[in-house]
A and B are shown apart, each in its own frame.
Chain A
């Protein structure tokens, strides 16, 4: 049982390049989330999904797009990377209902130069 798996774990991009971060969960969770973590800023929500085929904006969605074509996968795309997007990205999933916590992936450290 892998839980929540993120790929890649590390990546260096040049300004203007694009990339996709993949999150996969094997717990049959309905909800999935993408957060970014920067020093002193805590965990800020980028986008989330409450089910297959649905997505919604979080606190800091600009510059990112997402897709949830399959229940187990949640993709985060950067169309034109900027240095301000240098961060650690965490994916998380949770079961349906308000009283369930998150299971986080191990994170992706992204550097944009």
Chain B
């Protein structure tokens, strides 16, 4: 089955700097890679996703890149703001009927 590793587990950045979170996956058949943001005490919410036929996707200050050869994908947040502080989870799915497999999460702290 799929296995997803996520690094780092914690990340602190100064407001305005960029943040990068990296994930690797094991199953070369995986083709859907979402990212979730979970604020303290709240539910995880989908912030961006990428499919295996796309190398990069952007949405304002957030971007995700995918390297299928190396089996890794990354979340990039530019011009970080205090409200970006949260736990971020990456995930991967290897077939239509199987559930997403999540990484263990990255706690991002943006210091004002």
Contacts and interface: CB of A to CB of B under 8 A. Distances in A.
Contacts of B43: 90, 104-107
A106 B41 CA distance: 9
Contacts of A42: 6, 89, 102-105
B104 A41 contact: yes
Interface in A50-69: 50, 58
Contacts of A98: 31-32, 93, 95-96
Interface in A78-113: 90, 96-107
Nearest to A54: B97
- Helix, strand, loop or mixed for chain A's interface? loop
B39 to A, nearest CB: 12
A43 B44 contact: yes
Given A101-B46, A104-B44, A107-B43, A50 B32 contact: no
A43 B31 contact: no
B51 A102 contact: no
Interface in B82-112: 89, 93, 95-97, 99-100, 102-105
Given A42-B104, A42-B105, A50 B97 contact: yes
B49 A101 contact: yes
A48 interface: yes
Contacts of A43: 44, 89, 102
Interface string A30-43: 01010000001111
Contacts of A90: 43-44
B38 to A, nearest CB: 9
A50 B9 CA distance: 31
Interface of A: 31, 33, 40-43, 45, 48, 50, 58, 90, 96-107
26 contacts: A31-B99, A33-B99, A41-B104, A42-B89, A43-B102, A45-B99, A48-B99, A58-B99, A90-B43, A90-B44, A96-B96, A98-B31, A98-B32, A98-B96, A99-B31, A99-B32, A99-B49, A99-B51, A101-B36, A101-B46, A101-B49, A102-B34, A105-B43, A106-B42, A106-B43, A107-B43
